[in-house]
C-alpha cells in the first residue's frame, strides 16, 4: 500500500511540474526581482539586435560616397538598438549569464554611439565599435567584407 501511495504521489508531483505549471513554480523559487528569460525570449531579442547590427554594418560600409540620409539611417538603427538593449538591461538580474554580465556595457556602448552619430559632423567610430563587438562573437549573416 505504501508503494502505491508513493507512486501516486510521484506521478502527481511530475504532473504538477510539467508544462505551463513550471512557470508558476518559477514564481515561487526565484526572488521577486529575478527575471527568468526563456530561450525563446533571448532568441527573439538577440535576433532583433542581430538584424539591427547587420543594418548598421551595411549603413556604415557606404564610405565616402555615402548618401545624405546616412546619418538618419544610422541614428534610427542605433535608436532601435538602444531600445532593445534597454529591454535586455531591465532583465539584468536573470538566469542568462551573458546578459547578466554584459547588459550594462552594451547599453553604454550603444548610448555613446548614438550620441556621437548625432553630433555635427557625425562621428561613426563608436557605431563601428558596436557593430564590430557584436560581429566579433557572432558571425555576420551578410557575408564577408568587401
Mark whether 52 and 121 lie in a shared domain. yes
Measured N-to-C along each axis, helices 39-60 and 125-137 cross at an angle, to the nearest 10 degrees, of: 130
Mark whether 4 and 43 lie in a shared domain. no
Is 21 part of a structural domain of the chain? yes
In angstroms, rounded to a whole number, what is the distance separating the alpha carbons of residues 80 and 92?
19
Is 129 part of a structural domain of the chain? yes
Is 145 part of a structural domain of the chain? no
Q: Are 142 and 58 contacting, i.e. CB atoms less than 8 angstroms apart?
A: yes
Is 84 part of a structural domain of the chain? yes
Is 116 part of a structural domain of the chain? yes
pTM of the full structure: 0.64
Number of independent structural domains in the chain: 2
In this predicted model, what pLDDT tens digit does every residue of 21-66 receive, in sequence order?
555 555 556 555 555 556 555 557 778 888 899 899 989 987 666 6
Domain residues for 114? 39-137
Give 64's DSSP letter. G
In this predicted model, what pLDDT tens digit does every residue of 102-138 receive, in sequence order?
778 888 999 999 999 999 999 999 999 999 887 776 6
Q: Give the residue among 39, 53, 59, 73 at the shortest CA–CA distance from 137.
A: 53
Q: Are 119 and 104 contacting, i.e. CB atoms less than 8 angstroms apart?
A: no
Mark whether 82 and 114 lie in a shared domain. yes
Which CATH number covers residue 54? 1.20.120
- Give the model's pLDDT for residue 127: 94
In angstroms, rounded to a whole number, what is the distance separating the alpha carbons of residues 21 and 109?
38
Mark whether 67 and 7 lie in a shared domain. no
Is 144 part of a structural domain of the chain? no
Mark whether 10 and 59 lie in a shared domain. no
Amino acid at each position: 500500500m505504501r508503494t502505491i501511495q508513493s507512486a501516486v504521489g510521484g506521478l502527481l508531483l511530475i504532473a504538477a511540474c510539467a508544462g505551463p505549471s513550471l512557470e508558476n513554480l518559477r514564481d515561487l523559487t526565484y526572488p521577486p526581482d529575478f527575471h527568468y528569460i526563456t530561450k525563446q525570449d533571448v532568441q527573439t531579442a538577440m535576433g532583433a539586435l542581430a538584424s539591427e547590427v547587420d543594418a548598421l554594418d551595411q549603413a556604415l560600409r557606404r564610405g565616402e560616397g555615402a548618401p545624405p540620409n546616412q546619418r538618419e539611417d544610422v541614428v534610427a538603427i542605433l535608436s532601435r538598438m538602444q531600445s532593445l538593449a534597454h529591454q535586455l538591461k531591465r532583465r539584468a538580474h536573470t538566469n542568462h549569464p551573458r546578459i547578466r554580465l554584459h547588459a550594462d556595457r552594451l547599453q553604454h556602448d550603444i548610448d555613446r554611439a548614438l550620441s556621437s552619430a548625432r553630433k555635427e559632423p557625425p562621428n561613426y567610430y563608436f557605431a563601428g565599435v558596436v557593430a564590430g563587438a557584436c560581429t566579433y562573437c557572432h558571425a555576420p549573416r551578410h557575408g564577408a567584407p568587401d
